[in-house]
């Protein structure tokens, strides 16, 4: 894996669609993308780590589960594998809104010690202070009730699709290694058995390689890493 810095900022409004399937289809799916797309020149691969914030009644998760087309995510994201980071690490505080397939993301950068990012429990004050420093710059419509709920981490490979004008990613080894014990006192670490291929563009049109991806074993469908991990945490399932 190369680099710990983030991919370049995406357009503020775009359409996002996904393929998802069993993790055993990873090699075939990656081969399709290698054949049809160009590896991202700056950040072709890396580990993505995200702490999701939510209210005590889990409002953000409820918006996702209700499927009403209006969804909001509040999160802190950084890049790199545990043990590879040191010193102060760039952290991106994000608000992500979705209306159907269209999305808008606001992002502000801060810095935090690698040791805290990798070790601080999610009920530690560190996480609240981290987001509070960026909330004003984001115009964040979130108050003190929003607290860290779970952390999700995965390996991401990235490509550019010049024919379709899309940015493409393929995620595997998706897991939730940490959670807020105040929200899930019965919690256990979660590991998903799926891979997810996302593409983002202005139109939402499927890529030319969609049929090849289906033949590789993935299906075009809705899949939320956050939603799947939260459902397992809420149900006490690994």
In a domain, 199, yes or no: yes
**80/88 Cα distance (integer angstroms):** 13
- CA 196 distance to own-chain centroid: 11
* 88: in domain: yes
Tokens representing residue 28 in the block: 């075939």
> With 80 as the cut, is the pLDDT of residue 38 above it?
yes
Residue 15 has pLDDT above 90, yes or no: no
The verdict on residue 129 lying in a domain is: yes
Q: Is residue 102 one of the residues assigned to a domain?
A: yes
CATH number of the domain where residue 145 is located: 3.20.100.30
For residue 226, being part of any structural domain is answered with: yes
Question: How far is residue 45's CA from residue 156's CA, in Å, rounded to a whole number?
Answer: 6
Give CA separation, 199 vs 10, 73, 233, in Å.
12, 19, 27
Position 6 in a domain: no
pLDDT for 131-157, tens place per residue?
887 777 776 555 667 889 999 999 999
| Average pLDDT score over residue span 15-43 | 94
Give the relative orientation of helices 225-235 and 59-66 as an angle to the nearest 10 degrees. Answer: 110
**Lowest model confidence (mean pLDDT) among 35-49, 61-75, 115-129:** 61-75
Could you tell me the residue range of the domain that residue 72 belongs to?
A: 13-235
Count of the separate structural domains present in the chain: 1
Q: Is residue 4 part of a domain?
A: no
CA-CA distance, 17 to 168, in Å (whole number)?
Answer: 10
- List, for residues 52-83, the tens digit of each pLDDT value: 999 888 888 887 666 555 677 889 999 999 88
Alpha helices in the chain (DSSP H): 26-36, 59-66, 114-119, 125-138, 210-215, 225-235
Higher pLDDT, 118 or 201: 118
């Amino acid at each position: 894996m190369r680099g710990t810095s983030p991919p370049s900022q995406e357009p503020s409004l775009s359409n996002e669609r996904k393929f998802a399937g069993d993790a055993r289809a990873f090699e075939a799916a990656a081969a399709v993308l290698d054949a049809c797309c160009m590896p991202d020149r700056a950040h072709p691969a890396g580990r993505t780590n995200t702490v999701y914030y939510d209210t005590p009644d889990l409002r953000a998760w409820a918006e996702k589960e209700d499927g009403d087309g209006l969804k909001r995510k509040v999160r802190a994201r950084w890049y790199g594998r545990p043990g590879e980071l040191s010193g102060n690490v760039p952290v991106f505080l994000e608000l992500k809104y979705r209306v159907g397939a269209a999305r808008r993301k606001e992002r502000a950068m801060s810095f935090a010690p690698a040791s805290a990012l990798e070790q601080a429990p999610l009920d530690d004050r560190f996480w609240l202070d981290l987001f509070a420093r960026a909330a004003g710059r984001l115009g964040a419509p979130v108050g003190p009730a929003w607290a860290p709920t779970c952390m999700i981490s995965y390996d991401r490979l990235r490509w550019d699709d010049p024919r379709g004008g899309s940015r493409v990613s393929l995620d595997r080894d998706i897991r939730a290694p940490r959670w807020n014990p105040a929200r899930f006192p019965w919690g256990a670490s979660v590991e998903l058995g799926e891979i997810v291929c996302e593409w983002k563009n202005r139109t939402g049109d499927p890529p030319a390689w969609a049929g090849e991806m289906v033949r590789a074993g993935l299906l075009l469908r809705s899949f939320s890493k956050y939603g799947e991990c939260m459902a397992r945490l809420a149900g006490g399932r690994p």
